[in-house]
Amino acid sequence: MSNTAEKKLVQQLPLQFRNGAGETPQEPVTLFRIRETVVRYRTLAKVKEPIKTAEDIAALFRKLAPNNVQEHVCLFCLDGSHAVVNCSRVFTGTANTATLHPREIFQIAHITGAVAIIIAHNHPSGNLIESSQDRAITRRLKEAGEIMGIPLLDHVIVSDHSFQSAAAKGWL
């Protein structure tokens, strides 16, 4: 890892661990969470090209959330050229649900200086059909993004071998 990447990692540690799943600011940071952050940065270090397709996001998502027995939600914060400036696994749920709130999403987007965001989550069942909850949170994130000036560009649902893009399907 380069010196610049290490500095970025150190700068991001407080953000990555604040109010993580089951953690409070007073609880100690676990080695697992540190390793998870290092994996994210190594993944980001390899991303030189701007995100152009939902397939790009699905491939990144699979690297960040390889455990497909629970729902995971990842946030991809993009700069003006749509390069990823930050990616975070923001929520981990059960086998068929993950709670997501615009407040936490846009807090991270704002802190990282994102110009736009993309959300991705998996369906452990392999079924790529969006649920009513998927559509509802997409609508809320789109509305919040319009207010914040940080648009939601896509919501990608990922399975082990395929994906579905809300933008491509027309429900974003």
Which amino acid is present at 158? V
pLDDT of residue 19: 45
Do residues 89 and 103 touch, judged by C-beta distance below 8 A? no
55 in the same domain as 24: no
What is the rounded distance in angstroms from the CA atom of residue 9 to the CA atom of residue 86?
Answer: 11
Across-strand partners of 157? 121, 164
Residue range(s) defining the domain that contains residue 34: 1-46
Is the domain of 135 the same as that of 154? yes
State residue 18's pLDDT score.
Answer: 45
Average pLDDT per block of 10 residues along the chain, 172 residues long: 52 50 49 58 58 91 81 92 89 70 92 94 89 91 96 95 93 84
Residues 55 and 106 in one domain: yes
- At residue 31's C-alpha, the angle toward residues 117 and 15, to 5°, is 30
On whether both 36 and 56 belong to a single domain, the answer is no
| pLDDT at residue 71 in the model | 86
Q: What is the pLDDT of residue 108?
A: 92
Tell me what pLDDT residue 36 has: 62
Domains of the chain: total:
2
> Are residue 33 and residue 81 in the same domain, yes or no?
no
User: Rounded to a whole number, what is the largest CA-CA distance in the chain?
Assistant: 45
Does residue 54 contact residue 121 with C-beta atoms inside 8 Å?
no
CATH number at residue 128: 3.40.140.10
Asked if residue 141 and residue 72 are part of one domain, the reply reads yes
By the 10 Å C-beta count (0-12 exposed, 13-18 middle, 19+ buried), 115 is classed as middle
Please state, as a whole number, how many other Cβ atoms lie within 10 Å of the Cβ of residue 2. Answer: 8
Torsion angle in degrees (nearest 10) through CA of 59, 65, 70, 73 = -80
For 92, phi then psi, to 5°, come to -125, 130
Do 22 and 55 sit in the same domain of this protein?
Answer: no
Rounded to an integer, what distance in angstroms lies between the CA atom of residue 134 and that of residue 81? Answer: 27
Indicate if 136 and 61 belong to the same structural domain.
yes
Note whether 35 and 56 are same-domain residues: no
Sign of CA dihedral 105, 118, 28, 8: negative
C-alpha 172/C-alpha 169 separation (Å) is 8
Residue ranges of alpha helices (H) inside 18-131 are 31-46, 54-64, 102-111
What is the pLDDT, as a whole number, of residue 110?
Answer: 92
pLDDT tens across 28-53, in order?
A: 555 556 656 655 555 554 555 688 89
Q: Are residues 6 and 59 in the same domain?
A: no
pLDDT at 12: 57
